[in-house]
Chains A and B, each alone.
Chain A
Amino acid sequence: MNVLHHVPALLAFAAYEAGAWRLRRRGDRWPPIRDVVFGAGAAAALAPGGSTFTGHMLQHVLLGMVAPVLIVLARPVTLLLRAVPAAARRRLKRLLEAAGVLVFPPVAAVLEAGSLWLLYRTGLFAALGDSPWLHVHVFLTGLLFTTAVCRLDPVRDRAGLGVRAGALIGAAAAHAVLAKTLYVSLPPGVALAVADRQAGAELMYYGGDVVELGLALIIALQWYAARGRAEARSRRTGVPRTARG
């Protein structure tokens, strides 16, 4: 059992539950499905690696893509801001503002996809191997990117639909191209069986597709809901709707 891996995931889930309990005790609404989704995200982050490249890739897809989407859907930052006392909330908001540039979608996309390119196309993979810090990095950049693109939590930079869609398409393309290059050539300094490497590359390609399809769905449904709200507002007030495209 990897301590660096399990303890943070369990602590995060415990903290989330404590926050949700606090909100519900004072009568706020916090849908139970969010607790379930967060728990599933924490569980996905615990995925074991295994000794093959395919196993390593499966772990990365779960840790860097599936877990972040589930966690972001549970809106942990919103929960945190609502659960802490007012003074702490002000400090947290300043901290979030300072981190604003990181959640600008193109920046987050470059950090996420760029890390993967550096990892597999330089000697980094051979040097780091199965280091737990590598997994932490993959998880955190995945979480940052998902937060920036989905915009479900109150982050400072509220980029428009086009910017978020562009960042998602760019990162997904970088991911797909990297997966195809891994299909034909090894990461430098690593020896892998051909079948294992190719299965891992295909897993990265199609696994990435499934998660990115989910992200596209989140963005598109947000737009749909926003349009619906704008429409309802314009019907009430008689002013033509302003939220376009």
Chain B
Amino acid sequence: MPETRRSAWAGILTGIGVAAFLDETVFHQLLHWHHFYDRSTTEAGLVSDGLFHAFGFFAVVFGLVLVADLRRGDRLSGRALVGGVLAGVGAFQLYDGTIQHKLLGLHQIRYAVDLTPTTGRGTSSPCC
């Protein structure tokens, strides 16, 4: 019999961890959009980022082991797992993007990009 709650938690943990991993590899290492550190970073942002970073890798390891444990007992609910993963990735984005980057002033999400282009200069002007 599937254990829905446990399957969802396994998904949430895995989702948070996978999003943290993608953030680190894609935005930091491959695209270099994010910076390792910048001068706007606050102490609270740094501590929050450190904790979240540490929690992220633990979450993905433990989430996947939870999935393995549920599978061997034939108790995994696939739907709950997928839902959990989506919720976990979303929770990461909400916390990382809104709270850490904006409220706590951790490094910019992207540098050297005008977030409010004036009409005529950009390619996607809102009118005409």
Spell out A's residues near B (CB within 8 Å).
165, 168-170, 172-177, 180-181, 183-184, 198, 201-202, 205, 209, 212-213, 216-217, 220-221, 223-224, 227-228, 231
A173-B53 contact in complex given A180-B46, A221-B65, C-beta closer than 8 Å: yes
Name A169's contact: one of B47, B49, B55 (CB within 8 Å): B55
A212-B57 contact in complex given A180-B37, A202-B36, C-beta closer than 8 Å: yes
Chain A interface mostly: helix
A147 vs B47: C-alpha distance when bound (angstroms): 26
Task: Decide if A220 touches B62 in the complex (CB within 8 Å).
Answer: yes
- Give residues 35-50 of B contacting A (CB, 8 Å): 36-37, 39, 41, 46-47, 49-50
Task: Decide if B72 touches A173 in the complex (CB within 8 Å).
Answer: no
Task: Decide if A213 touches B61 in the complex (CB within 8 Å).
Answer: yes
**Complex contacts, B69 vs chain A, CB 8 Å:** 224, 227-228
Interface core residue of B46, B50, B64 (most chain A CB under 10 Å): B50
A224 vs B61: C-alpha distance when bound (angstroms): 11
Name A217's contact: one of B46, B47, B53, B61 (CB within 8 Å): B61
Task: Decide if B51 touches A173 in the complex (CB within 8 Å).
Answer: yes
A183-B36 contact in complex given A168-B58, A173-B53, A177-B50, C-beta closer than 8 Å: yes
A-B contact count (CB 8 A): 71
A175 vs B51: C-alpha distance when bound (angstroms): 10
Name B53's contact: one of A176, A198, A228 (CB within 8 Å): A176
A165-B58 contact in complex given A181-B46, A223-B65, A224-B65, C-beta closer than 8 Å: yes
B54-82 vs A, Cβ < 8 Å mask (1 yes, 0 no): 11011001101100110011000000000
Chain B nearest Cβ from A174, distance in angstroms:
7
Spell out B's residues near A (CB within 8 Å).
36-37, 39, 41, 46-47, 49-51, 53-55, 57-58, 61-62, 64-65, 68-69, 72-73
Chain B nearest Cβ from A114, distance in angstroms:
15
Name 23 interchain pairs, CB-CB below 8 A, sorted by A.
A168-B58, A169-B51, A169-B58, A170-B54, A172-B50, A172-B58, A173-B53, A174-B50, A175-B50, A177-B47, A177-B49, A177-B50, A180-B49, A184-B37, A201-B36, A205-B36, A212-B54, A212-B57, A216-B57, A217-B61, A223-B65, A224-B69, A227-B69
- Taking A172-B54, A228-B69 as known contacts, 7 extra A-B pairs with beta carbons closer than 8 A to each other, sorted by chain A number, are A174-B50, A175-B54, A176-B54, A177-B46, A216-B61, A221-B65, A231-B73
**Complex contacts, A169 vs chain B, CB 8 Å:** 51, 54-55, 58
Name A176's contact: one of B50, B58, B61, B65 (CB within 8 Å): B50
A218 closest partner in B (C-beta) = B61
**Complex contacts, B58 vs chain A, CB 8 Å:** 165, 168-169, 172, 216
**Complex contacts, B39 vs chain A, CB 8 Å:** 184
A184 closest partner in B (C-beta) = B37
**Complex contacts, A170 vs chain B, CB 8 Å:** 54
A205 vs B36: C-alpha distance when bound (angstroms): 10
A168 vs B62: C-alpha distance when bound (angstroms): 13
Task: Decide if B57 touches A209 in the complex (CB within 8 Å).
Answer: yes
Chain A nearest Cβ from B64, distance in angstroms:
8
**Complex contacts, B65 vs chain A, CB 8 Å:** 220-221, 223-224
A100 vs B66: C-alpha distance when bound (angstroms): 30
Task: Decide if A224 touches B68 in the complex (CB within 8 Å).
Answer: yes
B51 closest partner in A (C-beta) = A173
